[in-house]
Amino acid sequence: MAMASGNVEAFKRTITAYNSGNVEALLDELDAAVEWRPVLPVVLGGNTTVYRGHDGVRQMLRDLDAVLAERQLDFSDIREEGDRIVAAGRLRIRGKRSGALTESPFGWEGEFRNGKSVCIRTSLNPNDPHER
């Protein structure tokens, strides 16, 4: 199996762990020095934030779970570009207070080193994860 296809499998394990809320399984897929630039805090009215390392990812999940009753990612298009995975799909979230369900296009770009994510960027524009 080529290393790149290993990255696709690692990406899929990451999304499965994220969707199931399995924090330890998620952290197993992330480099200890990972940088995660999520779009969700911005969507929820916060600032652009970079979460660094496993402690940062734990904080990001606590921040999201404080306001969301549900968060689910589903990717229909996953592409390998060297050591990067670029994926397009949909995000589904439900607010805790409002109970409102929102679905949106969603993009994910992840850089991998030694089979682990070292940098993750997400966007509501699946065609351009850099757009915020």
- Mean pLDDT for each consecutive 10-residue tract of the chain (132 residues)? 71 96 97 95 82 96 92 96 96 94 95 96 78 42
Indicate the pairing of strand 116-123 with strand 30-37. parallel
Per-residue burial over 57-68, b if 16 or more Cβ lie within 10 Å, else e, is beebbebbeebe
Q: What is the rounded distance in angstroms from the CA atom of residue 73 to the CA atom of residue 103?
A: 10
pTM of the model as a whole: 0.88
**DSSP assignments along 90-104, one per residue:** EEEEEETTT--EEEE
Task: Give residue 50's pLDDT.
Answer: 94
Per-residue three-class SS string for 21-76:
CCHHHHHHCEEEEEEEECCHHHHCCCCCCCEEHHHHHHHHHHHHHHHEEEEEEEEE
